[in-house]
A and B are shown apart, each in its own frame.
Chain A
Amino acid sequence: MSARIIDVRGRKVAVAESGRGGPPLVYLHGFADVHGIAADLTPFHQRLARHARVIAPAHPGCNGSDELASASIDDVVFHYLEVFDAADLPCFDLVGHCVGGWIAAEIAVRHPERVARLTLVGACGLFVPGAPIGDVFMHAQPERGTDLSSLRALLFADPNGATAKRWFPDGRGDLDEEVRRYQMLRFGSFMGFRPPYFYRRELRERLYRASMPSLVIWGGQDRMVPPAHGTAYSDGLSDARHFAVIDGAGHAVHLEQPERVADLIAHFHDQHPDEHAGAQLESTARA
């Protein structure tokens, strides 16, 4: 694992990287995640890095990245286009979880030529009637000053299991981790505290523009972004190859079952070689 700061038009962006060989894979994080809590890549990312060069930027304001003055979904999409340019990534595989999945989907519908293969894990971003996205902000306010069990129930299948308690312990946890949790909530609050709550109604109608091979992965017990959102993504994306619902896992499916999720992505990439990216690179070279 290596962490570096890249300069994007005068803004600092913290990027964690792992894996030498393989095509570039950009990972955009969520709440219960690297950068959202942990400083380093997690076992999920490490396993992905066996197959790919994993590049995981911290969202604006998170874990060493500078905050944007305004962080609407459009501001953040433009931010990432600039990050990809600065990191010399014309075309890459894209994986996003939670809010990161929403950002990934917005990038994929706007710039399908840059995304070789898309994986969405528990992604918000869609409006699905009758299946609202949970209020992470209210649940982040502990009960009795210290009890985060309802937040864990939103994010994990087993709210009182060791994994859930490692990521969201009761009481005051490690100070740096507490600050990173706060930074991620603050970043998220720009995009989802007020309506639309972590979604854009138009995105569903635009999903067809994401023409790359796509994989959708969901925790069967996701109580933050209900699995109906996975169905909607799977139905809407032009070339969704597989919709994997993992029973016994919640919103943070990649923390609860890291190997399973990483292997699903690796398998998906093996099944669908990156022809798209190769063609794009050629056309870029010709131009």
Chain B
Amino acid sequence: MSDGVQLYCWHFMSYPHLPADFDEKYDTGWVTVPNSLWDKDKSRGLYQQYIDQLAYADELGFDGMVLNEHHQNIYGLMPSPNLIAAALTQRTKRGKIVILGNLLPLHLSPLRIAEEYAMLDNMSDGRLIAGFAPGSGPETFNYNVASASSRSQFWEAVDFIQRAWTEPGPFEYEGRHYPTRYVNPWPQPTQKPHPPIWIPGSRSRETLVEIAKRGYCYFLSSRSHGKETARSQEMFAKILAEHGKRYQPSRMGILMSAYVAETDAQAQAEAKEGVWYFLKNCLKGHLRREGRQLTFGPGIPYIPAEEFRDYLKFSDPTTPLLGDAESFDDLQESASIVVGSAETVYRRIMDILTHSKVGNLLIQFHLGNMQDALARKSMRLFATEVAPRLREDSAKLFAREFPEAALVPEMAK
């Protein structure tokens, strides 16, 4: 019997105290959003509230808690997710701690990440899932990452860390970006050979090939889940097969957002404020046409010119993005933020799982300026009324779709 879907609670820790006219007055929530808007009095206790929500997810039986790294924006107040992860090692007992991830090219040396992740793996008694990400447009502006070389820096840093965790030290690392005479980190991780490694990617074949070769988990970095998500899964499965490996749902994860309440109407009424704060403010500068989007484009020229030509051919700069949604119906189309009763949310997520066959669902419950009590209620209803059915039915689905290796005779190859 296959395992069912793994359900994680992702917290972005957005800044919730923006003025009501923020969208009118400011053209972005990223990089240049003035930090004079930070309200130190209203913000007292904010991190505590967010950490408490993650600890509650652990109590509710989620498979893990997800954190990630952002800089100089209102979307995510975790310049260092490792600090929050350290707090979670002391507040939680069961769930995995997923950091998705540290942005490798932003750091002076990957040695520091190998060290901090190893500390967290020890402090959590082997519960760390180690995510590595290259960072996207806003981070290149924030941290002076030369985007044309960020990919090669990223993969070199990944190699560095994996070797630092698996090869006896000290050894000398002869890299182009991170040459280091003495690689010998203390401590070493608790998990052997090393903590599971997750890497986000969009649909870049080059990235998927690297993930497939190295046996890592592929996290699809998209907030919308239409046909493209299924296509990404098919592409990843095909690339795995080309490398003599078989796709399993546990090899892939996606991000989505959910809000659960007693009825569909109540869910929409309760989620409305937080969802639209998130779409209009947090996504401004990232996934909205309004303002200046800094996530991808000619000013962040990290892909080769021929790939950019393909992007130009197959994209339309006037197509609405997620943050341009005006109604719950618009949101329903993108399958990004699922809002409704337990039955509705179950059905919609099962639909995504049936099409995309991914085994890790990373779900954002707290959106924008959502009140603590609402976020907690939604998490509780999800954990008690949605999660058990998803686990059971997805296990059946995956068993059907991915029978054990033994069922595929060698001679059939």
Which residues of A are interface residues toward B (Cβ below 8 A)?
A: 61, 67, 70, 136-146, 171-172, 175, 178-179, 181-183, 185-186, 189-190, 193-195
Contact = CB atoms under 8 A, between A and B. Distances in A.
12 contacts: A67-B304, A70-B149, A137-B299, A138-B141, A141-B293, A143-B27, A145-B289, A182-B308, A183-B305, A185-B301, A193-B146, A194-B146
Interface residues of B, number: 30
A171 to B, nearest CB: 7
Interface stretch (B44-52, B69-77, B310-318): B310-318
A72 B292 CA distance: 29
A194 B317 contact: no
Contacts of A179: 305, 308-309, 312
B317 A138 contact: no
B37 interface: no
Interface in B174-191: none
B265 interface: no
B34 to A, nearest CB: 16
A171 B315 CA distance: 12
B294 interface: yes
Given A141-B137, A175-B312, A186 B301 contact: yes
Nearest to B294: A141
Given A142-B297, A193-B148, 4 more contacts: A138-B141, A141-B293, A141-B298, A141-B300
B148 A190 contact: yes
Contacts of B297: 140-142
Contact of A193 (B147, B289, B305): B147
Contact of B312 (A143, A178, A183, A193): A178
Contacts of B317: 142, 145-146, 171-172
Contacts of A189: 146-148, 301
B291 interface: yes
B116 interface: no
B318 A182 contact: no
Interface string B352-376: 0000000000000000000000000
A182 B146 contact: no
Contact of A140 (B146, B299, B304, B308): B299
Contacts of A140: 297-299
B23 interface: no
Interface in B272-300: 289-294, 297-300
A186 B309 CA distance: 13
A183 B308 CA distance: 9
The 6 lowest CB-CB distance pairs between A and B, nearest first, are A140-B299, A186-B301, A137-B299, A194-B144, A145-B317, A141-B299
A136 B191 CA distance: 46
A190 B149 contact: yes
A89 to B, nearest CB: 28
A261 B3 CA distance: 71
B297 to A, nearest CB: 5
B379 interface: no
Nearest to A147: B292
Nearest to B137: A141
A186 B318 contact: no
Nearest to B306: A179
B308 A193 contact: no
Contacts of B85: none
Contacts of B141: 137-138
Contacts of A141: 137, 292-294, 297-300
A144 B140 contact: no
Contacts of B149: 70, 190
Interface string B107-150: 00000000000000000000000000000010011001111110
Interface string B305-348: 10011001100111000000000000000000000000000000
